[in-house]
Structure 1
Amino acid sequence: MTYRYLIVDDSERFLRSARRLLEREGATVVAAVSTGDDAIAAATATPVDVSLVDVYLGGENGADVADALSRRGLGGKILLVSTRAAEDVVDVVTQSAAVGFLPKSDISVAAIRAILTPAP
């Protein structure tokens, strides 16, 4: 199954890089946006299976964006991403609607599938 991705990050450079990486691996990126409002609009316009949302989203809290997407039934499975280590953001992740966390340096289709696929 090919997931449809939404990427939400305040860094244009990261948006371009993550999109390019995922698409090179065969993924479909439906939108790469930099605000919570744009994320909601994009996920409303096009179905999304997986959303990658930056924990520290400029002036917004990525966990709040994840929660807003989830409350509206949008964004599919939501992963919070960050350049910070998992132990630095564990409280934010566990208290949000996100189903997991992925360091930005580890983003790949395989890493995302590993988080989203339950162990047998």
Structure 2
Amino acid sequence: MRCLIVDDSRHFLDAARGLLVREGVTVVGTATSAAEAGELVEDLRPDVVLVDIDLGEESGFDLIAHLRSASSPPPMILISTHAEQDYADLIAASPAIGFVPKTNLSAAAIQRLLDRV
């Protein structure tokens, strides 16, 4: 599985990359902004994109809507430190294939969502 992680926290990006790599995921890149994420999705063609709901001054929901409009967009999964119920309606209305709390992030959690697509 080739994964791109989008989060405005460098600390989280490093921790998530380390965790997922240890679990057998190939992290092809990380991005800290919507613009960077858009470029990397086009250049790297990941199998899945993990997108933080809160990207500082940007919105993860806006980013996945934008990425969804591209030709052949990869599956996208929203991640957050907030509980899923805090954003349940927005998650359901988004083009994301699902949500994983950052505390539960794992290769298995990602694969479970991908298997449902």
What TM-score do the two structures reach when normalised by structure 1?
0.92
Aligned to 1:66: 64
Aligned position for 1:88: 86
Instruction: Say if 1:6 and 1:51, in contact at 8 Å, map to a contact too.
Output: yes
The corresponding residue for 2:35 is: 37
Q: 2:45 is paired with a residue of what secondary structure?
A: coil
The Cα offsets for residues 10-48 of structure 1, whole Å up to 9 and x where unpaired, read as 011000000111111111111111001000100111111
Q: Distance in 1 between matches of 2:65 and 2:79?
A: 14
Q: Which runs of 5+ in 1 are unaligned?
A: none
Task: Look up the equivalent residue of 2:13 and give its one-letter code.
Answer: L
**SS of structure 2 residue aligned to 1:48:** coil
Taking every aligned residue pair, what percent have the same amino acid on both sides?
Answer: 41
The corresponding residue for 2:53 is: 55
Kindly indicate whether the alpha-carbon contact (under 8 Å) linking 1:62 and 1:80 is maintained by their aligned counterparts in 2. yes
Moved over 6 A (4+): none
Q: RMSD across aligned C-alpha pairs, in angstroms? A: 1.4
CA distance in 1, matches of 2:26, 2:72: 17
Distance 1:74 1:8, change over 3 A: farther
Q: Which residue of 1 aligns with 2:115?
A: 117
Quick one: which amino acid aligns to residue 38 of structure 1? Answer: E
Match of 2:21 in 1: 23
Alignment equivalent of 1:9, drawn from 2, 7, 10: 7
